[in-house]
Each structure stands twice: as structure tokens, then as C-alpha cells.
Amino acid sequence: MQKNFFEVIIVDQSSNDETQKMIESMNWNQVIYEKVSFKGLSKARNEAIRLSSGDIFCLIDDDAYYEQ
């Protein structure tokens, strides 16, 4: 199986389906989306690490903004 150069992993803890709708509207094979019922930043990060297939990863929270 060929690996992607990068992947975006989204662990969604929200109570609505807005994020899921947005992801589904994008045709982007680098996105791994997981809707979870648990709450907690550490649990979400551990889940993202579990889902990852790469050797290097960066954890970015939903309230973080980065300059180009």
C-alpha cells in the first residue's frame, strides 16, 4: 500500500455533525476523520496518534492559528 506524503487526522468530539459534513464535502484522501463519544484533549490526542500511520506528527488543536 502506498503511503501519502502527509495525512490530516481529525478526532471530532463535538455534539453536532458540522465537521463531518465539511469533511465529506471535500474529496481529499489525506483526511482521516473519526467521530468519538468520549471527551478530553488527552484522549483525543491519543486517538489521533493511534490512527496515524506516519513516523512524525504534529498535534494541532482546534483553537490554534499559525502564520503561513
pLDDT at 42: 95
DSSP-based three-state secondary structure for 68:
coil
Record the cell numbers describing residue 66, joined without a space. 499559525
* Residue numbers in the chain where pLDDT is lower than 70: 1-4
Burial of 4 (0-12, 13-18, 19+ CB in 10 A): exposed
pLDDT at 50: 96
The pTM of the whole model exceeds 0.85: no
- φ/ψ (deg, to 5) at 57: -145, 160
pLDDT at 3: 62
pLDDT at 32: 93
pLDDT at 2: 61
40: β partners: none
Contacts for 3 with CB less than 8 Å, ≥ 6 apart: 53, 54
